[in-house]
């Protein structure tokens, strides 16, 4: 049966890297009995330019009707002045919310052939494979009240609210425990419970769920500031990190940079299974829209291609073909091909298109 994919390439390097991912998708179709219908639409700044808003109702409806969304990246200086409610980032934040994509899975994996690209010593990161399970429809990203008000004396006041309910915490903790069971069976839950009551509740709910249903999984707790330190000191101590929206945003970017290859890292954001059996899912690179190199054919398409591989695995249950794509990516690295972000001595510098095409050759 044909699977419906909605692609939202977005801004900056998004369209360039998406193009390469779609070539890989063609190759997947030619070399398997899978078939896909691909619909393309706009999001972020590109949608602002065309429609005046970063995320249209039509795109939301299409995303809901699709079996999976393949997302690029949004944002750029061009839209710095559009106003808070219409900023390009609403494209991705709004999709997460509208589709109920509460579980943002971000893995930081070190590719052996790229180990030198990291600023961290090889022995510290060799073989690193950690998974960050970030809650992505709650916390300070969505909490009310929020906004800026001017007080009678002219002072301005900016407010945001961090809110987590036990239901939200339990739901995301469950995802982390389930994933950990398929990994090294260790979850480290991260909050700032020595300062924030919302973090205290987080810790309590995770502890309760663990005792009730997941006591076979090893559970530890860590403060967010300490976690940032420990990621630098010894990232291999972690298997699965479970955390909220804001801490997850920061810690997953930090973890990604440890690998030295942000251009290589995909992510998946998943919701709850729907009545029709579909689990809403969006796949996107961890890197942003990189406006500084957009349109120059320099961007690394591998994170977008690996996002496609994640889609094949998680949304379409195609373990084998997904691994084929991952291996094809590793193979081009082993051949010595490098985009500028991962370039090192003795390697062959290539652009987005050449990198993407090389992945096609089996």
Ligand X SMILES: CC(C)[C@H](C(=O)O)[C@@H](O)C(=O)O
Token pair recorded at residue 361: 């050759």
Tell me whether strands 186-191 and 218-223 are parallel, antiparallel or unpaired: parallel
Contact indicator for 255, 272 with CB cutoff of 8 Å: no
Residue 196 binding: pick among its own copies, ligand X, none (C-beta 5-8 Å cut-off by kind): its own copies
As to burial, measured by CB atoms within 10 angstroms (0-12 exposed, 13-18 middle, 19+ buried), residue 159 is exposed
Draw the binding track, 227-256, toward its own copies (x: CB under 8 A; -: no contact): -xx-xxxx-----------xx-xxxxxx-x
Q: Which of 131, 24, 21 is nearest to 73 (CA)?
A: 21
29 CB contacts (<8 Å, ≥6 apart)?
35, 36
Element (H, E) at 121: none
Q: Has 87 been labeled as part of a binding site?
A: yes
Q: Which residue has the tokens 């419906």?
A: 4
Q: Has 293 been labeled as part of a binding site?
A: yes
Does 253 qualify as catalytic in the annotation? yes
Phi and psi at 124, nearest 5°, equal -75, -30
Angle 352-360/319-334 helices, nearest 10 degrees?
Answer: 130
Q: Name residue 69's beta-bridge partners.
A: 6, 282
Q: Has 357 been labeled as part of a binding site?
A: no
Which residue in 34, 201, 279, 347 binds its own copies (CB under 8 A)?
A: 201
Draw the binding track, 214-253, toward ligand X (x: CB under 6 A; -: no contact): -----------x-----------------------x----
**Residue 197 binds to ligand X (criterion: CB under 6 A):** no
Q: Residue-wise over 72-83: b if at least 16 C-beta within 10 A, else e?
A: bbbbbeebeebe
Q: Give the CA distances from residue 34 to residues 24, 44, 294, in Å, rounded to whole numbers and listed in that order.
A: 13, 30, 32
SS3 assignment, position 72: strand
The nearer residue to ligand X, 225 or 292, going by C-beta atoms, is: 225
Which residue in 1, 119, 276, 277 binds its own copies (CB under 8 A)?
A: 119
**Residue 333 binds to its own copies (criterion: CB under 8 A):** no
Draw the binding track, 263-302, toward its own copies (x: CB under 8 A; -: no contact): -------------------------x--------------
Smallest separation, CB 125 to ligand X (Å): 21
Does 225 qualify as catalytic in the annotation? yes
Token pair recorded at residue 330: 């590793």
The nearer residue to its own copies, 113 or 261, going by C-beta atoms, is: 261
Draw the binding track, 62-101, toward ligand X (x: CB under 6 A; -: no contact): -------------x-------------x--xx--------
Residue 47 binding: pick among its own copies, ligand X, none (C-beta 5-8 Å cut-off by kind): none
Q: Has 116 been labeled as part of a binding site?
A: no
Residue 92 binding: pick among its own copies, ligand X, none (C-beta 5-8 Å cut-off by kind): ligand X
Does 354 qualify as catalytic in the annotation? no
Q: Has 88 been labeled as part of a binding site?
A: yes
Contact indicator for 140, 199 with CB cutoff of 8 Å: no
Q: Which of 316, 315, 319 is nearest to 280 (CA)?
A: 315
46 vs 37: CA distance, rounded Å: 22
Counted residue by residue, the chain has a size of: 362
Does 249 qualify as catalytic in the annotation? yes
| Size of site (CB under 8 A) for its own copies | 62
The nearer residue to its own copies, 18 or 193, going by C-beta atoms, is: 193
> Which residues of the shown chain bind ligand X in the complex (CB under 6 A)?
75, 89, 92-93, 194-195, 225, 249
Residues tagged active-site:
141, 192, 225, 249, 253
Contacting positions for its own copies (CB under 8 A): 75, 84, 87, 89, 93, 119-121, 124, 140-141, 143, 146-148, 151, 155-167, 192, 194-202, 205, 224-226, 228-229, 231-234, 246-247, 249-254, 256-258, 262, 288
Binding residues for substrate: 96, 106, 134, 225
Annotated binding residues: 76-89, 96, 106, 134, 225, 249, 253, 288-300
């Amino acid at each position: 049966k044909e699977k419906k994919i909605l692609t939202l390439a977005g801004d900056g390097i998004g369209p360039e890297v998406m193009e390469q991912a779609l070539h890989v998708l063609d190759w997947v179709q030619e070399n398997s009995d899978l078939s896909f219908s691909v619909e393309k639409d706009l999001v972020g700044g590109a949608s602002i330019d065309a429609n005046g808003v970063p995320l249209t109702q039509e795109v939301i409806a299409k995303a809901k009707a699709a079996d999976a969304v393949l997302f690029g990246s949004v944002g750029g200086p061009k839209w710095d002045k559009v106003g808070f409610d219409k900023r390009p980032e609403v494209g991705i934040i709004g999709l997460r919310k509208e589709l109920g994509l509460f579980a943002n899975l971000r893995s930081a994996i070190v590719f052996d052939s790229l180990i030198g690209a990291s600023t961290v010593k090889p022995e510290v990161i060799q073989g690193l494979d950690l998974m960050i399970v970030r809650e992505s429809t709650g916390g300070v990203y969505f909490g009310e009240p929020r906004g800026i008000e001017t007080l009678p004396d002219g002072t301005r006041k900016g407010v945001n609210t961090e809110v987590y309910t036990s239901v939200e915490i339990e739901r995301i903790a469950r995802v982390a425990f389930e994933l950990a069971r398929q990994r090294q069976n260790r979850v480290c839950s991260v909050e700032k419970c020595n300062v924030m009551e919302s973090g205290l509740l987080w810790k309590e709910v995770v502890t309760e769920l663990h005792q009730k249903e997941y006591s076979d999984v090893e559970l530890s707790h860590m403060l967010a500031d300490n976690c940032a330190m420990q990621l630098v000191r010894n990232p291999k101590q972690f298997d699965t990190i479970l955390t909220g929206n804001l801490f997850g945003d920061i810690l997953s970017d930090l973890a990604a940079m440890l690998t030295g290859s942000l251009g290589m890292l995909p992510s998946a954001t998943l919701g709850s299974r729907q009545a029709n059996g579909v689990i809403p899912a969006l796949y996107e690179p961890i890197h942003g829209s990189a406006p500084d190199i957009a349109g120059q054919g320099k961007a690394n398409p591998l994170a977008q291609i690996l996002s496609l591989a994640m889609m094949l695995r998680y949304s379409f249950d195609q373990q084998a073909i997904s691994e084929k794509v991952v291996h094809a990516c590793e193979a081009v690295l082993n051949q010595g091909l490098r985009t500028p972000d991962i370039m090192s001595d003795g390697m062959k510098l290539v652009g987005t298109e050449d990198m993407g095409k090389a992945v096609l050759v089996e």
